[in-house]
A and B are shown apart, each in its own frame.
Chain A
Amino acid sequence: MSALPRPAAIVVARPAIAGALATAYLSLIVLIPLAAVVVESSVDGWAGFWDAITAPQAVAALRFTVIASSIVVAINVVTGTIIAWVLVRDDFPGKRTVNAIIDLPFALPTIVAGLTLLALYGPKGPAPFDIGFTRVAVLAALLFVTLPFVVRSVQPVLMELDREMEEAAQSLGAGGFTVFRKVILPTLLPAIASGAGLGFARALGEFGSVVLISGNIPFKTEVASVFLFGQIESNNTRGAAAVSVVLLLVSFALLLVVSWIGTRTDRHAR
């Protein structure tokens, strides 16, 4: 590797241009629309905002959404890590196909996912059980669409994991489970957290896959996004914006926690 000095102009100019581009792009695509939502929610003042988010149906929808998303993420953390483990560490016929299947929930239109689940596990489905229009159905739909997040964030870290670290732990007297708990898990934690955070944010806002299978029963199976859709249909955009802001805040807080876990670990990981 040579250490030729780079032309100073490029070194200085490149970050400036890149920074400006990134800011402009982020503003156009993300920040301005989000700001518009916040503005819309505050047109009626604090009282209007508070009324909108404390309406019983809104509270029920938000509560159910957050609880359902939390359960889904908890399940994803376990199953996603196991699936990533199997895909990285085990050899079996058809491994590449299985690996490709993991991403399909991203590719399939979510409405199709919801329809399929309903057709299979709904009242007219061939399955011996019927979960149509129940809270369990919402969980199933959310599990389907959030499957790839934890798997895909853990997989590369697991592939890069230093096997000698595990062998060192073994030679120091650690059995299989202890090696996993004390050496592997702490290394995977930032990746698991990041996958979980993305999955959670996705679950909070998920609409397509749940809208059919949940039956949208208020106070029971109605999730926040479907509630919002109802509000918009009945011309209550302000109330819809207010509830959206709550969803945004919850997601944002969680993603902050995830990035904090990431930087805390990264500080001494390299």
Chain B
Amino acid sequence: MAIEVRNVSKAFGDFQALGDVSVVVPDGSLTALLGPSGGGKSTLLRVIAGLETADAGEVLFDGEPVTGVPPQHRDVGFVFQHYAAFKHMTVRDNVAFGLKIRKRPKDEIATRVDELLKLVHLDGFAGRYPAQLSGGQRQRMALARALAVEPKVLLLDEPFGALDAKVRKELRDWLRRLHDEVHVTTVFVTHDQEEALEVAEQIVVINEGRIEQAGSPDELYESPATPFVMGFVGPVSQLGDQYVRPHDIDIHLEPVDGGLQAQIEHVARVGFEARVELHLADGAPVSVLVTRQQAAEQELEAGQIVWLRAHRFHAFAEGELASA
């Protein structure tokens, strides 16, 4: 199901969480809402789910406005950062919850729950209580619970935020594969750009209640619309008014046309790469990423004076994009 958000605004007291936000989520896509904490991405997700009411604007599911439709009638599956497990119910009863509410026949519920538990690799845990599961298992249970009712949209609010790095990575890959299998329109909120770039087909960058840019991971990385997006989806250095990725800067040992003089402060060799920290004549810090081999050939070391020139950069003028 396609989702369209039209000119939605939402304030909490004096705090403007969303200001005139419009987004389109294509049917069957896997979309990430990416942005810093407090930027409004969770609020947007909750407005889509009907858990918050927008002050202005509307949300459309397949072209039909759903304003005023309560969450229980929106056919959305919602997964929370802290699992929101029903602690007094077994894993089986948690997953069966939505089906029981829909008064499905008992044997159908049992079959469906078994299927889902297998899908999330929790078969064998049906009789346990949430407190007896690890964080990753609880979140998989929450996913099975949300998928049980065959929602038209799956909404996940920082689903892996409470998990440790290793489990987070596993679940991330797993969500990607799950989406390939189930094909339900999925929107997830994250503040982790790596997570968004790796998992999502479409990324919507939200900051201070506004959409900075929406596009594919490649578009965002290659043609960021604003300095904020450029800085948020990857590391960025500034050479004058040029915004540059650290791997797009060349280090020259002799003065070159358009090159800026800089002094090396530190060279860190990390595996295949070497990260060179420098400062420009005006003191501004710059990071450059070169191969280990290049660092060795140029004999780069702290204190050395070099010239920097970007072979690829972005310049932003009043929000307009101009890249070379």
A173 in contact with B87 given A162-B82, A168-B80 (CB within 8 Å): no
Among the 9-residue stretches A51-59, A192-200, A241-249, A262-270, the one with 4 or more Cβ atoms under 8 Å from chain B is A262-270
Residue of A nearest to B78 (CB): A171
B97-105, B287-295, B298-306 - interface stretch: B97-105
Query: Once the chains are docked, how many angstroms separate the CA of A206 from the CA of B180?
Result: 67
B229 CB-CB contact with A under 8 Å: no
Task: Report the bound CA distance from A164 to B82 in whole Å.
Answer: 8
Residue of B nearest to A171 (CB): B78
B88–A173 touching, CB < 8 Å:
no
Q: Which residue in B71, B74, B86, B146 is a CB contact (below 8 Å) of A183?
A: B86
Q: Which residue of A lies closest to B73 (CB)?
A: A173
Residues in chain A near residue B102, CB distance under 8 A: 173
How far apart are the CA atoms of A270 and B133 in the complex, in Å? Answer: 11
A186–B102 alpha-carbon span in the complex (Å):
20
A200 to B186 Cα, complex, angstroms: 52
Partner of B149, one of A173, A178, A187, A268: A173
User: In the complex, how many residues of chain B place their beta carbon closer than 8 angstroms to a beta carbon of chain A?
Assistant: 31
- Inter-chain contacts of B149 with A (CB < 8 A): 172-173
Q: Are A269 and B131 in contact (CB under 8 A)?
A: yes
User: Which of B70, B88, B101, B131 is within 8 Å of A172, CB to CB?
Assistant: B101
- Provide the residues of chain A in CB contact with B80, threshold 8 Å: 164, 167-168
Chain B: minimal CB distance from A185 (Å): 10
Determine whether B268 belongs to the interface, using a CB cutoff of 8 Å to chain A. Answer: no
Q: Within the assembled complex, what's the spacing in Å between the Cα atoms of A207 and B70? A: 51
Residue numbers in B under 8 Å from A269 (CB-CB): 87-88, 131
Q: Does B16 contact A (CB under 8 A)?
A: no
- Smallest distance from the beta carbon of A154 to chain B beta carbons, Å? 16
A7 close to B (CB within 8 Å): no
Contacts A268-B129, A268-B131 given; does A165 touch B70 at CB 8 Å? no
Are B101 and A173 in contact, with the CB atoms below 8 A? yes
Whether A171 contacts B49 by the Cβ 8 Å rule is yes
| A170 contacts B70, C-beta separation under 8 Å | yes
B78 with A187: CB separation less than 8 A: no
Q: CB-CB < 8 A to B73: which residues of A?
A: 173
- B positions within 8 Å CB-CB of A: 49-51, 70-74, 76-78, 80, 82, 84-88, 97-98, 101-102, 129-132, 142, 145-146, 148-149
Given A172-B148, A174-B97, 15 new contacts (CB under 8 A): A162-B82, A167-B51, A167-B84, A171-B49, A171-B72, A172-B101, A172-B145, A172-B146, A173-B72, A173-B73, A173-B98, A173-B149, A183-B86, A265-B88, A269-B131
Binding site for B on A (CB under 8 A): 162, 164-165, 167-175, 178, 182-183, 186-187, 265, 267-270
18 A-B residue pairings within 8 Å (CB atoms): A164-B80, A164-B82, A165-B86, A168-B80, A169-B86, A170-B51, A170-B72, A171-B72, A171-B146, A172-B72, A172-B145, A173-B102, A173-B149, A175-B70, A175-B72, A178-B101, A268-B129, A270-B131
